[in-house]
Chains A and B, each alone.
Chain A
Amino acid sequence: MPEIKVTPLGAGQDVGRSCILVSIGGKNIMLDCGMHMGYNDDRRFPDFSYITQNGRLTDFLDCVIISHFHLDHCGALPYMSEMVGYDGPIYMTHPTKAICPILLEDFRKITVDKKGETNFFTSQMIKDCMKKVIPLNLHQTVQVDDELEIKAYYAGHVLGAAMVHIKVGSESVVYTGDYNMTPDRHLGAAWIDKCRPDILISESTYATTIRDSKRCRERDFLKKVHETIERGGKVLIPVFALGRAQELCILLETFWERMNLKAPIYFSTGLTEKANHYYKLFITWTNQKIRKTFVQRNMFEFKHIKAFDRSYADNPGPMVVFATPGMLHAGQSLQIFKKWAGNEKNMVIMPGYCVQGTIGHKILNGQRKLEMEGRATSVTLCCPLAPIKLQIVLDVKLQVEYMSFSAHADAKGIMQLIRMAEPRNMVLVHGEAVKMEFLKGKIEQEFNCYMPANGETITVTTNPSVPVDISLNLLKREMALGGPLPDPKKPRTMHGTLIMKENSLKLVSSEQALKELGLNEHQLRFTCRVQLQDPHSDPDTLHRIYTHLKSVLKGYTIQHLPDGTVMVESIVIKVSSSAEDTNTKVLLLSWSYQVKYFQCSYLTDGLYRD
């Protein structure tokens, strides 16, 4: 049976380092190639040895598809293509292609330059990797090779986020990446055709959640920022460079304007201009409202939001700072956090999900004392023999607020997408390993639902329809046989010969098949020996059999032929004597394969009825 295999190398019952292998119609596709931000050992990247133990990535994979620019979906890409080695095509949307290298370079700097890690990809590797990328447009069918085609759909998770429909022949898989079913301030909602894929691979980050409305979240966010500013505090908002940051910028910009606030808003260095530039460039990927008002005013040209300089962090008075990265695991946001953490007037607002192991995750879990790895330079040391690395305990006094703005589909959204696409099977990935028996049960009321762990393969057998041409003669003959007229909804048995020739299939009558292929028809006869005791001579026995059969088998054509045989219809009967005993006669019955079995048994029955 044809089958489709899905194996998560990352994001199986887990969030982080999304990487899913799909084998469909003889093609192997890698969906996303992310890193896990919570680890810096070999759990950081997906386990590519699953493939490489049997050969090179390039030989195995037909293509790699990246759903969006978040590092947990593309962070391992340079490692895979340049360090493990992959030279095949990598597909991503235009915005993802533009933004992903910025984030990769940003992350590389933090990892290599700040943390001093070696054995990490270089800037050149990021560049080389991006050369292998082929950009995708929305709703454009791209032919990867003669058989494999892919098509991107809008996912609404971040700028350029896409769901992808992968098709080989009549088999297909949809991979959602991360998606969002409710439009927000800068993006629209995910949408897909009723494409009825064999498998829908969906993220399930918020699968057991019913989300509070966005309006209430925005109201609380503004209230929190305002209160802090009013009491003279500083607000730190750690963000991914793109995505929520722009949404919150729009929100604050408008609020500042309306409330006539004077406190400065900064957006962390470098990334600001680039990020906003890309939003302007890819305005078609934002939501309808932004696109429509774009002519009068570009939403991404901010009046109140200015570029941040590291020295500003020590300025007195209230301010709001957007800084990267979003999980406080390194870089500028962590530096500012360390500076401001000691003052209870200040506030840090965490606007998104934080993976385990990051500072963001720790403070969201209520940790008020943080052990930090500090470098000797950052503290005054009394001990002259201090080690280079030492543990500093950071007292977190500032107010910590969690405002989840991350745009994932919740339980309702997942069901909405399922209804849109109408898949035959579901695979849930990118969700924490929690009890989801109920959700699984809910989905399984309609179709199979799988939740494979990393390295675990699920196999779905498919019923691809194979088109076959049928000869008119054969159809006419079939019609002549009578019976009900052909109905496209009902399967029907018919006889014919299937010829597979030059990638096409056709069904013809066996005579025509013989003729076309220049073959002779084989004759197949069955013979059976019946022994009986009879003292007469062979011809007499034969005659006795003849008269006997004539009396019992009324309505059949029975002939006694001069060559010493009796024929009942097409069945031939011969008589010979046994060599040892002339009284033992051996009857040879012979019939061709067309004769139905019951006719023979009826005949033998007749013979015995003596």
Chain B
Amino acid sequence: MTEEEEEEDNNSRSDGALHAVGWRRRKRRLLSPAARVHLSVLRGTHQWYKDLHVYQLEHPTQVIEWTSGRTVCVAGFSPSKNEILELRLPRKLFADENKGLCAERDFKVVHGGFTDRPVRCLRHVPGTRCAVTGDGLSSNLQVWDLGGDDSDVIRRTGSIEGRRRRTGVSEGGSSIAARPSSPPQILHGAQISDVQLTELSSGQTLYQLESDSADPLSSLHFLSDAVFLAGCSNGNIYVADTRTSAAPQLSPPPPPPVSSGESVLWWTDASAGPDPSGCRVVRLSSSGQALVSDLRNLGGAVSRAQLDVQTRRCGPDDVRVSWAPALDDCIAVSGFSGAVQIYDASVWTSELQEARPLFEHRGHAVSPEQSDDGVPPILVTSHVWHPERPRTLLSAASDGSVHVWDWVDQSAADKR
């Protein structure tokens, strides 16, 4: 087999055309540049991606947070010195007409700042130029001014003290949720008993969750202005209302059909919508099981599926599961491997069955930065859906790569 044939063969084997790009790069060292023009690039890719942009940050990020329709924040998570960057996505990506006129296809660093802690969690407060970060080590949070038109510097403006812990409980990082509010407020906590609503400017506590549970949080979500959902890493879900001091409603996950005996971690996401009662909640376990529940009956599962993921030992910060904000029934999953998977939850049933992803973005795992041996495999560290564009996602990986991709639903295209 000649080198070129071999390359063609690779491409026909891979499902997504661009997935093959660079994947045999090291072996093709001696190939002429001409041969490096991949057939995949030329023929197939545009059928799988409407857009694909590949970037390389200096340092990997675990957070990707929208700060406007066109800008995102990313930040490093090394033990000391880190940068928080606000990046402007290229206009080319958002123009539907005259894309070619949009000159740049690069990220622009519009604002940047420095922090001496890792950034494990970053939440932008909607409607403001304010962001809150957590370091994953303590329940204390840092408050940042993202800067305006007159400056390109992100400055720290204050901090929020986490609620005092009972002794004997190891501190973990906080989860943060924010919604449009005036003056700006955030909901935060590291475990159920210390969830509170804090006003940013004064640091005043406006609400505290009435519970003495030490369940560690995995995420917080506002379902409406006042009702919020707290997902715990043991699978419990609490729903509470910031307007009342009533005890929260607790829903443990339905027991798994086969108990493996190993402790599993859970991650949660709630679908956003105008009507919180129509909200659906997805819970994903470290063993790859996904449960979709209705807000009215969080104890039961509307549908479930065993996802096609490589299960591995996961940390609580590793996995992301998210509902598509502008697409029905689609769930994105990352953190188990170098891929981001999109699942169509509408085909799941109440019986636990194996589910195949609708689309898989494997670009990070075949990053040109990857080398063959002695290096830990590249893992996706984060992903986020574009709030309005239905199939546009951003994803980041442990090698510092950030991809922006607009995928094509091949199955829908085939049906047509």
Contact = CB atoms under 8 A, between A and B. Distances in A.
B109 interface: yes
Interface string A397-415: 0011110100000111001
A438 B109 contact: yes
B182 interface: no
Contacts of A251: 37
Given A224-B100, A410-B106, A436-B152, A293 B54 contact: no
Interface stretch (B111-119, B216-224, B284-292): B111-119
B37 A258 contact: yes
B103 A404 contact: yes
Centre residue among A222, A259, A299, A435 by max chain B CB count within 10 A: A435
Given A186-B33, A210-B106, A438 B56 contact: no
Interface string A289-304: 1101100010100000
A210 B37 contact: no
Interface residues of B, number: 48
Nearest to A259: B42
A314 interface: no
A251 B32 CA distance: 12
Contacts of A415: 58
Given A215-B54, A441-B153, A208 B42 contact: no
A457 interface: no
Interface string A406-449: 00001110010000000000000000000111110110010000
Contacts of B87: 210
A213 interface: yes
B26 interface: no
Given A209-B106, A401-B100, A437 B151 contact: yes
Interface string B247-278: 00000000000000000000000000000000
Contacts of A297: 32
B302 interface: no
A521 to B, nearest CB: 59
Contacts of A399: 100
A401 B92 CA distance: 11
A213 B105 CA distance: 10
Contact of A210 (B41, B109, B368): B109
A537 interface: no
A229 B111 CA distance: 41
B41 to A, nearest CB: 5
Nearest to A363: B101
A185 B33 contact: yes
A278 interface: no
B184 interface: no
Contacts of A223: 46
A213 B32 contact: no
Contacts of A442: 83, 112, 114
A209 B107 contact: yes
B92 to A, nearest CB: 8
Contacts of B106: 206, 209-212, 404, 410
A212 B41 CA distance: 15
A213 B56 contact: yes
24 contacts: A208-B109, A208-B152, A209-B107, A210-B55, A210-B56, A210-B57, A210-B109, A211-B106, A215-B21, A215-B22, A216-B53, A216-B105, A222-B41, A250-B34, A253-B34, A255-B42, A289-B32, A347-B100, A365-B103, A400-B101, A402-B104, A412-B56, A412-B57, A441-B153
- 4 closest Cβ pairs, A-B complex: A401-B100, A438-B112, A213-B54, A210-B107
Interface of B: 18, 21-22, 30-37, 39, 41-42, 45-46, 52-58, 83, 87, 90, 98, 100-114, 151-154, 368, 402
